[in-house]
Amino acid sequence: MEIINLQSILSESEFFKEKSEKDKIILHHTVSSGTAKSVIDWWNKTKDRVSVPYIIEKNGKIYQVFNDEYWSYHIGGNATKNDNKTSIGIEIINEGPLIRKDNAYYWFDGKVKYYGEVYPKKWRNYDYWATYTDEQVKATAELCKFLCEKFNIPKTFIVSFTFDKNYFKQTGIMSHHNLRADKTDISVAWPVDKFIKYLNM
């Protein structure tokens, strides 16, 4: 596994240079079709400290943008400061929910045309989803294995696509949607069985 260092690009004002113990990994997606660089540019522009230390592009390349012992407010919502401090976020490049119109699919609330594969499933007020690449799934599993070993995090994945505030008390690997009812990342297009297979290889 290769991790490409982009730590010089993200502004230090977008995370907290404070080391903390970690007990969970939270998977996010970008709701965009960009690159790691464009995601970093967006974080630098918004200035709200919701960045995460890792970004995985569609080709499976892994980028690190700040020290994974540091933290940011990547969960949002009703998450406490400690919830954010004790978790590591991984951002996966993906367009997220899609809207079908005029025999085509669009992301970003129906504003940008989508050209990739579509996963049809009704969930959280949407019917269609952008798929994740096999390279991303494998890279995410490899990165999770690395982080679980580094921080002694249980190598278990919550397979439920539901929100439950009790997930905050759990350790292991989970999705942003498990911790917030208003989020769709990672989506129902995530190939759970394949991810778990890679995770245990």
Q: Is the overall model pTM greater than 0.85, yes or no? A: yes
Instruction: Find out whether 83 and 178 touch, Cβ atoms under 8 Å.
Output: no
Convert the pLDDT of each residue in 156-193 to its tens digit: 999 999 999 999 999 999 999 999 999 999 999 999 99
Q: Is the pLDDT of residue 47 over 90?
A: no
Q: What letter represents residue 133's amino acid? A: T
DSSP 121: E
CA angle 91, 198, 83 (to 5 degrees): 40
61 confidence band (pLDDT: 50, 70, 90): very high
* Sequence-distant (≥ 6) Cβ neighbours of residue 24 within 8 angstroms: 86, 87, 88, 153, 170, 171, 172, 173, 174
Instruction: Find out whether 167 and 18 touch, Cβ atoms under 8 Å.
Output: no
In terms of phi and psi (left: phi > 0; alpha: psi -120 to 50; beta: otherwise), the region of 5 is beta
Residue written as token pair 């939270």: 26
* Sequence-distant (≥ 6) Cβ neighbours of residue 159 within 8 angstroms: 192, 196
pLDDT of residue 109: 82
